[in-house]
Structure 1
Amino acid sequence: MVISASTIEEVAARAGVSRSTVSRVVNGSPAVSEVARESVRRAIDDLNYVPNRAARALASRHSQAIALVVPEDTARFFGDPFFAAVVSGIQARLASTDYILNVILATGDPGDKTTGYLRSGSVDGAIIVSHHDNDTFIDRIAGAIPVVYGGRRVRVRDEDHVVDSDNVGGGRAATEHLLERGRRRIATITGPPSMRSSLDRLDGFRAVLDDAGLAPVAVEDGDFSEDGGAAAMRRILASGQEVDAVFAASDLMARGALRVLRDAGLAVPDDVAVVGFDDSMIAATTSPPLTTIRQPSRGQGERLVEILLDLLRGASPEHATVMPIELVVREST
């Protein structure tokens, strides 16, 4: 059986008001009496009326849509639990609003397809996460609509609105923990140098070693991926340098490093201690369970939405929000 949708005229007739009054109630206009507003709301409930989103967007010049732009490929997006946690937070915060979320994966934006879509009025604002210093197309997006960045950009601008984790503090906490465990020959596996989070975690790592009068045994790029972490660990072992600890700047890279250490016959943590970063679901399921730096990825997603909603309301939210980190000690150290 096909159930026909109720119309705005039927709602108006049921409520005993004009069609324009129903439209004003649906669009949140204050120019309606409370009595009329309640009559319309009851009629909407009785008739299961669903307002036409396209018509509302045309009338209000607002799409009621927000874009999450991720300049990564599909394998990276679906394979890294960090993104799942951030999206979960974004969706949770949007649930109580009229906004819908459009997820856009864009690597380089050839032909300006993504930029053209976002600048066309199809969305009211955007959240951009996992951006790199060569993702210049995001500047064109930010020039047309309100944007909030998940993570600091490599080239910081005063006008940017950013929600980030304390990546420098996380790098420091991981390295301090390894020193407290008596480790002195410490290597690190970083993310790509095109990302500020990678550079900040490396800065924290280096600062603690400098304070202790030590130098890194090795600094290898693991590209924030499991395979990249494994390849970086192989390079560290192949260098012939003695290593007794590794700080991997993501749990995915740490899992790859653990696999290589196991294959090389090295025991964790007896021979080599390992610390990751994220405290994703991966950390508790590695063998051994992974000591890591917890960053509030879901909370970051929620805060990204809150700041963007403030911008869309015409408010002036703070430009930089730094979320706290926490060392979570498990059996890998």
Structure 2
Amino acid sequence: MSITAAPEATHDAAHDPMRDSAEHPTLAHVAALAGVSSATASRVLNGSARVSPTARQQVRDAVDRLGYVRQRAARAVDRRPRSVAAVVCEPNARLFADPFYSRVLAGASAAFAERDMPMLLAAGERPASLQRYLSSGHIDGVLLIYCRSSHPLVVTLPALGVPVTLIGRPLQGSSLSYVDADNRGGARQAVEYLARTGRRRIVTIAGPPDVSAGVDRLAGFREGLERAGLEPGPIAYGDFTRPAGVHAMTRLLDHRPNLDAVFCASDLMAVGALHALRQSGRRVPEDVALVGFDDLPLAAFTQPPLTTIKQPVEEIGAAAARQLLAQMSGEPWDEPPVLPTTLVRRQSA
């Protein structure tokens, strides 16, 4: 969406309020760049619903472009313990159904516990009300777990001066700290393995195109095909859930019935794909090889057991927690933000 330009200033350029915005952006600079009043810009940052979607997006774009950060008010001396929050940017049903989230939260919670830091848990279904709470001074830092690029908390919390660390690489250019797995390298490794075992008609069930894990795993899949000298096949997209895997696999079989391998961007989608392959009469791995991503505990108990890419889920959560703690205390952070992935060979490929 384009940003409405501010009216041309009529005063001397030396006193132009936008002149020094790159160095010290203020709320007035944000409002001017967004083409709205300062009151409207403030309402957006405070999570008010009394703003049009167009103005809300323009303010968020301006905040992101300027790198605006509001200075938080000094904490009242109330002797309460410091605390952090972990926000899973998915509906509540996903939070409790997908074991990935419990594992990454366990890793983060253990790292926070080492510093006697309580961790609150929230789902990002209602970002406006959640934003008001997280920026009210009750929370000292926030972990955002796999937020989509359009999620408002990714922009508004840093703008309000709240320390934030992302679990999952930010899709758009951002200065926010983050920790992630080598999704691209892992997907590439999966495809190269399938090619080495003689598979030539390899397709994929990719993740959401607005989540970095989905984007990076699809990029790695394409790189793997290119390195193996194979032509790209059809791509189906899913939301990392089992039902999405069933639906996507059915569509792929309709478009390329002679496929001989599938790379799934999550283990849960691979479980759904396994079901669809059985329903179609395909044998795994004799007719179709199948590789997932995550190495969830269930991967060892499917029939056949699932070959998959292991990402260090608990370690990702712990590393993100330590990075957030360093940010909150002003300490330097020099650990790598991307952790390695490895291929786990089982019987499905």
What is the TM-score normalised by the length of structure 2?
0.76
Structure 2 residue corresponding to 1:67, chosen from 82, 85, 88:
85
Code of the aligned partner of 2:170: R
Going from structure 1 to structure 2, the CA distance change for 1:319 and 1:148 (only over 3 Å counts) comes to: farther
Deviation of 1:163 after TM superposition, in Å, equals 0.3
Deviation at 1:70, TM superposition (A): 1.2
Alignment partner of 1:97 is 2:115: yes
Runs of 4+ more than 6 Å apart: none
Shift of 1:133: 1.2
- Select 1:258's aligned residue among 274, 277, 283: 274
Cα pair 1:161 1:320 within 8 Å, conserved: no
Secondary structure at 2:298's aligned position in 1?
A: coil
Which position in structure 2 is the counterpart of 1:291? 307
Structure 2: distance between partners of 1:219 and 1:297: 26
Question: Is the counterpart of residue 87 in structure 1 residue 71 in structure 2?
Answer: no
Q: For residue 187 of structure 1, what is the aligned residue in structure 2?
A: 203
The residue aligned with 1:225 is 241
- Aligned-pair distance for 1:105? 0.3
Shift of 1:214: 1.6
5+ unaligned residues in a row in structure 2: which ranges?
1-74
The alpha-carbon distance between structure 1 residues 276 and 120, as it changes in their structure 2 partners (threshold 3 A), is same
Contact 1:94-1:100 at 8 Å conserved across structures = yes
Tell me which residue corresponds to 1:153: 170
> Which of these two proteins has the greater Rg computed from alpha carbons?
1
Q: Deviations over 1:253-304 (max 9, x none)?
A: 0000001111111110000000000001121111100000000000011111
Q: Is the 8 A contact 2:234 2:256 kept in 1?
A: no
Query: Aligned with 1:68: secondary structure?
Result: strand
Counterpart in 2 of 1:37?
none
Matched, 1:198 2:224: no
The one of 129, 141, 144 aligned to 1:128: 144
Q: How many residues align?
A: 274
Partner in structure 1 of residue 346 of structure 2: 330
> How far off its partner does 1:91 sit?
1.5
Matched, 1:247 2:263: yes
How many Å separate the matches in 2 of 1:323 and 1:62?
A: 35
1:49-60 alignment, distance < 5 Å: 58-59=76-77
Superposed displacement of residue 217, structure 1: 2.2
Q: How many angstroms apart in 2 are the aligned matches of 1:108 and 1:232?
A: 29
SS of 2:185's partner is helix
Name 2:292's counterpart in structure 1.
276
Q: Is the 8 A contact 1:71 1:108 kept in 2?
A: no
- For 2:250, the aligned partner's letter is R
SS in structure 2 of the partner of residue 95 of structure 1: helix
Alpha-carbon spacing, 1:267–1:63, altered in 2? closer, same or farther (3 Å): same
